[in-house]
């Protein structure tokens, strides 16, 4: 009996040792092979021999929150190394698409938007700007650097600004379906009545990217102008909501933004069927969407300020900002 147990224990022990040895060999083989992964798609691959300031997990911005409760980074000046990030994303050879709508009198904002985008928006990257307008012949000629291009798409004009603003989701959805077949490129959808003042680059890239609204980022959620009627598909109950996000800037991977645009469009249309229009049109639907589908990266209000707002101390740089405009003069309706 004793002898039997001993040989069983011995067999078990040898099996364990062999297993351990196998794991050890296999693991070191796997590690060696993984140092440089074969597919670059989802890796942040840094070029070798790059020198930059040592990162710290003890010291950094203390005046702002730089990570959400679901552990998405919140991008503020001073939280990232632009040179390092650019070198990581350059090798991926990505194209960054931007959509901008200039319908009716809003065409007047396009020149400044495009000229300042040349100076600040993904400089050094492949950029493709799609302008949606009903005034193609008034699209300004702006010199674009190599690797950057502009495409004009005609859209019908409208008698209601709410409709122009809200139809953007539908047009973004169809643009992605028709022009930008499924691959891992990025898109940002931006308001035209704005200008770039500082770098907006690879630090903003993520699967689903939202910008916190400059008007509400210091407020309790009870003051957020969410849609509050339960009848709307954009409904947000009291006690719900993380941040109030801008309708004037959002983005991410093509497939993610496609899903967002498609969902917001169909919810907006379902509301219309019920005779309801959300408080802030597509912005309300976007906020509802981001409440359920948490953004993987949140951009601070540096990424969409408003020119009339004095700069707050936590805002060290304004990258993109809405110009002051006379609504009565430029909108087709009040
Ligand atoms: N827009 C447009 N023509 C209009 C109204 C709106 O092209 O008559 C587009 C434009 O891109 C604009 C966006 O819809 O930036 C959102 O509207 P707006 O900027 O007026 O909204 P706000 O930022 O003032 O909330
Ligand atoms: Mn705007």
User: Residue for token digits 């070191």?
Assistant: 28
> Could you read off the pLDDT of 238-271 as tens digits, one per residue?
999 999 999 999 999 999 999 999 999 999 999 9
Q: Is the pLDDT at 29 greater than 90, yes or no?
A: no
pLDDT tier, 183 (very low <50, low <70, confident <90, very high otherwise)? confident
> What integer is the mean pLDDT of 20-25?
56
102 marked as part of a ligand binding site: yes
Of 165-169, 200-204, 235-239, 257-261, least confident by mean pLDDT is 165-169
User: Residue for token digits 């906020």?
Assistant: 287
Bridge pairing between strands 186-190 and 194-196: unpaired
Which ligand 1 atom is at minimum distance from the Cα of 191?
15
How far is Cα 182 from Cα 199, in angstroms, rounded to an integer? 28
The first and second tokens of residue 105, run together, are 């009198």
Query: How high is the pLDDT of residue 143?
Result: 97
Query: How high is the pLDDT of residue 32?
Result: 47
For residue 53, report the distance from its CA to the centre of ligand 2, in Å: 37
CA 152 from chain centre, in angstroms, equals 22
**Ligand 1 in contact with 104 (CB < 6 A)?**
yes
Domain residue limits, the chain = 2-38, 74-330
pLDDT tier, 39 (very low <50, low <70, confident <90, very high otherwise)? low
Query: How high is the pLDDT of residue 76?
Result: 98
Contact between 96 and 128 under an 8 Å Cβ cutoff? The reply is: yes
Contact between 248 and 180 under an 8 Å Cβ cutoff? The reply is: no
For residue 233, report the distance from its CA to the centre of ligand 2, in Å: 23
103 marked as part of a ligand binding site: yes
Q: Is the pLDDT at 306 greater than 70, yes or no?
A: yes
What is the chain's mean pLDDT, rounded?
91
> What integer is the mean pLDDT of 295-317?
98
Angle at which helices 161-179 and 254-273 cross, to 10° = 140
* pTM beyond 0.85: yes
pLDDT tier, 165 (very low <50, low <70, confident <90, very high otherwise)? confident
Query: How high is the pLDDT of residue 38?
Result: 57
For residue 105, report the distance from its CA to the centre of ligand 1, in Å: 10
**Ligand 1 in contact with 332 (CB < 6 A)?**
yes
> Could you read off the pLDDT of 79-125 as tens digits, one per residue?
999 999 999 999 999 999 999 999 999 999 999 999 999 999 999 99
Query: How high is the pLDDT of residue 181?
Result: 76
Contact between 314 and 240 under an 8 Å Cβ cutoff? The reply is: no
Task: Count the neighbouring beta carbons within 10 Å of the beta carbon of residue 113.
Answer: 26
Catalytic hit among 138, 283, 302, 329: 283
**Residue 283 designated active-site:** yes
Of 175-184, 277-286, 324-333, least confident by mean pLDDT is 175-184
Topology annotation, domain 74-330: Spore Coat Polysaccharide Biosynthesis Protein SpsA; Chain A (3.90.550)
Q: Which of 242, 246, 251 is nearest to 202 (CA)?
A: 251
């Amino acid at each position: 009996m004793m002898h039997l147990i001993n040989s069983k224990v011995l067999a078990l022990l040898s099996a364990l040792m062999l297993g351990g040895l196998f794991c050890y060999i296999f693991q070191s083989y796997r590690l060696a092979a993984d140092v440089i992964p074969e597919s670059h798609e989802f890796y942040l691959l840094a070029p070798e021999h790059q020198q930059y300031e040592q990162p710290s997990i003890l010291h950094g911005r203390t005046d702002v929150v730089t990570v959400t409760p679901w552990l998405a980074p919140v991008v503020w000046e001073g939280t990232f190394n632009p040179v390092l990030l650019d070198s990581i994303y350059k090798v991926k050879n990505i194209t960054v698409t931007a959509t901008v709508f200039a319908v009716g009198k809003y065409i007047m904002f396009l020149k400044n938007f495009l000229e300042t985008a040349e100076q600040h928006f993904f400089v050094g990257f492949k950029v493709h700007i799609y302008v949606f307008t009903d005034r193609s012949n008034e699209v300004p000629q702006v010199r674009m650097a190599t690797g950057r291009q502009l495409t004009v798409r005609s859209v019908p004009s409208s008698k209601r600004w709410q409709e122009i603003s809200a139809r953007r989701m539908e047009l973004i959805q169809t643009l992605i379906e028709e022009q930008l077949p499924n691959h891992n490129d990025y898109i940002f959808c931006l308001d035209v009545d704005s200008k770039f003042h500082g770098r907006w680059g690879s630090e903003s890239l993520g699967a689903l990217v939202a910008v916190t609204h400059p008007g509400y980022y210091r407020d309790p959620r009870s003051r957020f102008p969410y849609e509050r009627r339960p009848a709307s598909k954009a409904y947000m109950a009291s006690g719900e909501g993380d941040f109030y996000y801008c309708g004037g800037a959002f983005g991410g991977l093509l497939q993610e933004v496609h899903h967002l645009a498609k969902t917001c469009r169909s919810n907006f249309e379902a509301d219309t069927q019920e005779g309801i229009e959300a408080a802030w049109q597509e912005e309300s639907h976007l906020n509802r969407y981001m409440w359920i589908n948490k953004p993987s990266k949140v951009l601070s209000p540096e990424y969409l300020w408003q020119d009339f707002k004095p700069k707050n101390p936590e805002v060290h740089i304004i990258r993109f900002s809405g110009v002051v405009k006379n609504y009565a003069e430029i909108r087709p309706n009040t």
